[in-house]
A and B are shown apart, each in its own frame.
Chain A
Amino acid sequence: MNGLEVQAEEGWTLLDTARFYGLEIPTLCYHDGLSVFGGCRLCLVEIGEGPKAKLVTSCTYPAEEGLIVHTDTKRVIEARRMMIELMLSVAPYSKKIQDLASKFGVTQVRFKLRNEECILCGLCVRMCAEQMDGRAIGFQNRGYRRKISTPFDIRSEECRLCGGCIYICPACQLRCQGPEAETAVCNACLTLDPTCLDYYNELQCWMYDAGRCGTCVREAPKKENPLASSKP
């Protein structure tokens, strides 16, 4: 993993292994204590080498003998950024997603904003079913019409008003009240733009939190983009 020889126990996923070794991989729909889902696509890592290398979600991919894994290649980072951009376009007021945008250098949202306050990560569904034994809400429909609701969109008899779904939801939270509060992408804090990517194909810091050592940080340029939606 990232050039380090690592050992995993039987049944571990790539994410479990990475965490054991202190390698940080961002996640959203993953939660200790709930089953894995693999829908947010943030925890992508690159496995294999050469033309057959591909991206997989580390929270679901089982550790395999002889597998080569890289957690921060250019491919991974670019894909990750697009996932965040897509999430921002449907839940721009979520602090959690805004923080992710700042951390990973997402400075623009080029899609029409649709403020649904839901990224269909399924945490609420799994919380309700697995931790609270309620099964009051679930996924319905498919494709772009997919939604999470109660059966027939009416008050559910199974719902005990425990609030677990609200507690765990990453999208429907108060956003930060920073200086650029009205924009789709705040970025006012934590703008990091590692310079090592100009020279290497993958992030050079081993102990994650890009730029923590301070030697590669520069301020992210404010890009002029005609497609950037600045009004929510």
Chain B
Amino acid sequence: MSPRKSTPKMRRLSDLENIIAAAKESRQKETKTVIAVSSGTCGQARGSNRLIEAFKKALKQDGLRDRVILKATGCHGFCEAEPNIIIYPQGIFYQKLEPKDVSNVLNQTVLNGEICEDLLYVDPVTGEKPTKEEEIPFYKKQKRLVLGDNPRLDPTSIDDYFSIGGYGSLLKVLSSLSPEDVIKSITQSGLRGRGGAGFPTGKKWAFARAQKGDLKYIICNADEGDPGAYMDRSLLEGNPHRVIEGMIIGAYAIGAREGYVYVRDEYPLAVANVTLAIEQARKKGLLGENILGTGFSFDLHIAKGAGAFVCGEETALIASIEGRVGEPRQRPPFPAVKGLWGKPTVINNVETWGNVPIIIEKGAEWFASIGTNGSKGTKIFSLVGKINNTGLVEVPMGITLREIIFDIGGGIPGGRKFKAVQTGGPSGGCLPEKLIDLPIDYESLTQAGSIMGSGGMIVMDDRTCMVDVARYFLNFLRDESCGKCISCREGTQRLWEIVTDITEGKGTMEHLTLLEELALAVKEASLCGLGQTAPNPVLSTLRYFRNEYEAHIKDKRCPAGVCKALIRYSILAEKCTGCLACLRVCPQGAITGELKKVHVLDESKCIKCGACFEACQFDAILIE
């Protein structure tokens, strides 16, 4: 990677203006080819580090270091294609690379401008092989306002951020806008909290600004506890300065002098990159006393979570920073009035902060032109589960589920049938096939029995048991509940017990009535959002998939073939080739047979572990 001269501390607004202009110019004039290697946490888990080492070695050996810049960027969003690279300026996208592909990439594409066909993305339906990032169906329908800069940036370099115009919005704010102007702009844009509740951001800021007193705080909620959601991680790892810029602007608008970025403990790379970014910003004079000579002072600290989902709730998060257990408290008073250490505090989600710079840059009207009437702008979703194109998708509000799952997501793998999509994490619900054309916004999702949540979108196929899904979420919630309210603590435990009984074939029809009654009580009587939304997974699956519950109860059968007590494994004689594969992996020795002879499964020994199903290449294991 080519070394870059580090810019000194800036003391005046004009310093920042000049630095940004110079960095932008330098980037525009860049003649070298840039190879951006996607290196977020999952990129690294799939081998991007080895790939980078291979590139480094080859560049040195072939003497190409003065012609090629190698950049380890944050996540590019298309996780299914990891490790992937984008070659600039052409924008060529190569996927699933291995170290052995490095020489071809360099010799064919970089030096000779030829495409390496075998490294291109292949559309599973049309068979086409688009060469450029924007031509790939996964990216086409997206509108990557927030995540789009990830592939262009080295997240460990503040100068790289300057070179794409970064901190330009802060410059605009400090030079020409009053705090009230900023709040007005955010309010008019229609930005709503991206953490899940969707509270109008401008309104929250206005409340906090109106509070008397010198000491106010802002917090970035990066606790992202929803299982299946990782867009905040990706943004913090790949573009931490974007979030920091948003926070500095917010602090200026509200009148806060200190801020915290509360990152969950399970995101070590995000913690590292944000910590580094804060240090860099401080060194450059963008954080600290008298920022750029304007008289405005603000500094940021990192606080790490310690493994508690409930700390994503505002008041629990505050308690955690104060060194106490993450127990939510009654509101009013709201954090904007009385928050961290009793002072006015604004807490916003990572993605919310990430939207602030672009609203300032392009204007409230522009932002409000995207999305629906009630939900403006874009939203990042993590599209995971039984889906072909797993990844992070950023789309305008109002897009339909069908477009996300099929056009962008490429549909269900293995030719299986779409059954449901779960949104909103443990606070959300499962939406069935008949709602596939639902346009996504805060209101429509709530009406359908789910919520927007932080953006997790888990796709399920006909092999997913919805009763098992309800049980999974209840298990999660009974463990993560802080335990204060009996309605939540005991309520989720009892809901889990009843649903478990149903999955084990011990359910009765009266259980369904009891489930609904108890679920309503938990929803009504609990103090915080965790308890109030805990019944949603159960209620939504009962609403749309009642027949599955009834099958478990009346027929003692699990239609999806998941609940152990209600299924049996057997070998289909007509498909068995006698290859011994299943026999070898069975931990209980329940399969007997000889080579080239049909195998037999002894049900009395079978523990339904699934090892044989995994091993068989001929679909000869039947689960029913």
Q: Are A and B in direct contact (Cβ within 8 Å)?
A: yes
CB of A89 within 8 A of chain B? Answer: yes
Q: A144 touching B481 by the CB < 8 A rule?
A: yes
* Least CB distance, A74 to chain B, in whole angstroms: 11
Binding stretch for chain A, among B160-168, B355-363, B509-517: B509-517
Binding stretch for chain A, among B31-39, B99-107, B521-529: B521-529
CB of A60 within 8 A of chain B? Answer: yes
Q: Given that A41-B487, A120-B483 are contacting pairs, would A82 and B518 also be in contact in the complex, using a CB cutoff of 8 Å? A: yes
CB of B508 within 8 A of chain A? Answer: yes
CB of B325 within 8 A of chain A? Answer: yes
CB of B546 within 8 A of chain A? Answer: no
Q: Please, which residue of chain A has its CB at the minimum distance from the CB of B511?
A: A227
Q: Please, which residue of chain B has its CB at the minimum distance from the CB of A225?
A: B510
Q: B479 touching A41 by the CB < 8 A rule?
A: no
Q: Which of B308, B484, B510 has the most CB of A within 10 A?
A: B484
CB of A158 within 8 A of chain B? Answer: no
| B-side interface mostly | helix
Q: Given that A38-B330, A146-B489 are contacting pairs, would A78 and B521 also be in contact in the complex, using a CB cutoff of 8 Å? A: yes
Residues of chain B with a CB closer than 8 A to A41's CB: 485-487, 525-526
CB of B246 within 8 A of chain A? Answer: no
Q: Which of B480, B483, B493, B514 has the most CB of A within 10 A?
A: B483
Q: B489 touching A62 by the CB < 8 A rule?
A: no
Q: A143 touching B483 by the CB < 8 A rule?
A: yes
Contact of B510 among A120, A146, A226 (CB under 8 A): A226
CB of B332 within 8 A of chain A? Answer: yes
Q: A139 touching B330 by the CB < 8 A rule?
A: no
* Contact bitstring A20-62, B, C-beta under 8 A = 1, else 0: 0000000000000000011111001000000000111100111
Residues of chain B with a CB closer than 8 A to A144's CB: 478-479, 481, 483, 489-490, 492-493
Residues of chain A with a CB closer than 8 A to B479's CB: 142-145
Q: B490 touching A90 by the CB < 8 A rule?
A: yes
Q: Which of A57, A75, A143 has the most CB of B within 10 A?
A: A143
Q: How many angstroms from the CA of A58 to the CA of B321 in the assembled complex?
A: 28
Contact of B480 among A64, A139, A142 (CB under 8 A): A142
Tell me the residues in window 74-90 of chain A with beta carbons closer than 8 Å to chain B beta carbons.
75, 78-79, 82-83, 86-87, 89-90
Q: Which of B332, B479, B487, B490 has the most CB of A within 10 A?
A: B490
Contact of B525 among A79, A142, A143 (CB under 8 A): A79
Tell me the residues in window 112-133 of chain A with beta carbons closer than 8 Å to chain B beta carbons.
112, 119-120
* Least CB distance, B190 to chain A, in whole angstroms: 21
CB of A141 within 8 A of chain B? Answer: yes
Number of chain A residues close to chain B: CB under 8 A: 38
Q: B486 touching A143 by the CB < 8 A rule?
A: no
Q: A64 touching B332 by the CB < 8 A rule?
A: yes
Residues of chain A with a CB closer than 8 A to B490's CB: 86-87, 89-90, 144
Number of chain B residues close to chain A: CB under 8 A: 36
Q: How many angstroms from the CA of A116 to the CA of B332 in the assembled complex?
A: 34
Q: How many angstroms from the CA of A120 to the CA of B517 in the assembled complex?
A: 23
Q: A55 touching B525 by the CB < 8 A rule?
A: yes
Q: How many angstroms from the CA of A89 to the CA of B491 in the assembled complex?
A: 11
Contact of A143 among B481, B497, B510, B520 (CB under 8 A): B481
* Least CB distance, B315 to chain A, in whole angstroms: 12
Q: Given that A144-B493, A227-B514 are contacting pairs, would A83 and B330 also be in contact in the complex, using a CB cutoff of 8 Å? A: no
Q: B478 touching A119 by the CB < 8 A rule?
A: no
Q: Given that A64-B332, A144-B492, A225-B510 are contacting pairs, would A139 and B517 also be in contact in the complex, using a CB cutoff of 8 Å? A: no
Residues of chain A with a CB closer than 8 A to B520's CB: 78
CB of A96 within 8 A of chain B? Answer: no
Residues of chain A with a CB closer than 8 A to B484's CB: 37-39
CB of B482 within 8 A of chain A? Answer: yes
Tell me the residues in window 472-509 of chain B with beta carbons closer than 8 Å to chain A beta carbons.
477-487, 489-494, 497, 508
Q: How many angstroms from the CA of A131 to the CA of B379 in the assembled complex?
A: 51
Q: How many angstroms from the CA of A112 to the CA of B330 in the assembled complex?
A: 31
Residues of chain A with a CB closer than 8 A to B521's CB: 78-79, 82-83
Residues of chain A with a CB closer than 8 A to B510's CB: 110, 225-227
Q: How many angstroms from the CA of A30 to the CA of B492 in the assembled complex?
A: 23
Residues of chain B with a CB closer than 8 A to A44's CB: 524-525
Q: How many angstroms from the CA of A44 to the CA of B527 in the assembled complex?
A: 10
Q: Given that A62-B332, A139-B325, A227-B510 are contacting pairs, would A86 and B524 also be in contact in the complex, using a CB cutoff of 8 Å? A: no
CB of A167 within 8 A of chain B? Answer: no
Contact of B485 among A39, A64, A78 (CB under 8 A): A39
* Least CB distance, A55 to chain B, in whole angstroms: 5
CB of A208 within 8 A of chain B? Answer: no
Q: Please, which residue of chain A has its CB at the minimum distance from the CB of B514?
A: A110
Contact of A142 among B308, B485, B511 (CB under 8 A): B308
Q: How many angstroms from the CA of A90 to the CA of B491 in the assembled complex?
A: 12
* Contact bitstring B147-189, A, C-beta under 8 A = 1, else 0: 0000000000000000000000000000000000000000000
Q: Which of B330, B486, B521 has the most CB of A within 10 A?
A: B486
* Least CB distance, B238 to chain A, in whole angstroms: 32
* Contact bitstring A217-232, B, C-beta under 8 A = 1, else 0: 0000000011100000
CB of A111 within 8 A of chain B? Answer: yes
Tell me the residues in window 445-484 of chain B with beta carbons closer than 8 Å to chain A beta carbons.
477-484
* Contact bitstring B417-439, A, C-beta under 8 A = 1, else 0: 00000000000000000000000
Q: A143 touching B482 by the CB < 8 A rule?
A: yes
Q: How many angstroms from the CA of A142 to the CA of B308 in the assembled complex?
A: 9
* Least CB distance, B323 to chain A, in whole angstroms: 15
* Contact bitstring B319-348, A, C-beta under 8 A = 1, else 0: 000000100001011000000000000000
Residues of chain B with a CB closer than 8 A to A120's CB: 483, 486, 489
Q: How many angstroms from the CA of A120 to the CA of B493 in the assembled complex?
A: 14
Q: How many angstroms from the CA of A145 to the CA of B308 in the assembled complex?
A: 14
Tell me the residues in window 130-168 of chain A with beta carbons closer than 8 Å to chain B beta carbons.
139, 141-146
Residues of chain B with a CB closer than 8 A to A61's CB: 330
* Contact bitstring B518-550, A, C-beta under 8 A = 1, else 0: 101100111100000000000000000000000
Residues of chain B with a CB closer than 8 A to A54's CB: 524
* Least CB distance, B13 to chain A, in whole angstroms: 44
Q: How many angstroms from the CA of A115 to the CA of B490 in the assembled complex?
A: 13
Q: A57 touching B527 by the CB < 8 A rule?
A: yes
Residues of chain B with a CB closer than 8 A to A82's CB: 487, 491, 517-518, 521, 525
Q: How many angstroms from the CA of A41 to the CA of B488 in the assembled complex?
A: 10
* Contact bitstring A189-212, B, C-beta under 8 A = 1, else 0: 000000000000000000000000
Q: How many angstroms from the CA of A41 to the CA of B479 in the assembled complex?
A: 20
Other CB < 8 Å A-B pairs besides A39-B485, A55-B524, A143-B478, 19 of them?
Answer: A38-B330, A39-B484, A41-B486, A41-B487, A44-B524, A57-B527, A79-B524, A83-B487, A83-B521, A86-B487, A87-B490, A110-B510, A142-B479, A142-B482, A143-B477, A144-B479, A145-B479, A146-B489, A227-B511
In the assembled complex, 29 residue pairs joining A and B whose CB atoms fall closer than 8 Å, in A order, are A38-B527, A41-B526, A44-B524, A57-B527, A75-B524, A78-B521, A79-B524, A79-B525, A82-B491, A82-B521, A83-B487, A86-B486, A86-B487, A86-B490, A110-B510, A120-B486, A139-B325, A141-B483, A142-B479, A143-B479, A143-B483, A143-B489, A144-B478, A144-B479, A225-B510, A226-B508, A226-B510, A227-B510, A227-B514
A-B interface, 6 closest residue pairs, ranked by CB to CB distance from nearest: A146-B483, A82-B521, A143-B481, A144-B493, A60-B330, A144-B478
Q: Give residues in B with beta carbon < 8 Å to A.
A: 308, 310, 325, 330, 332-333, 477-487, 489-494, 497, 508, 510-511, 514, 517-518, 520-521, 524-527
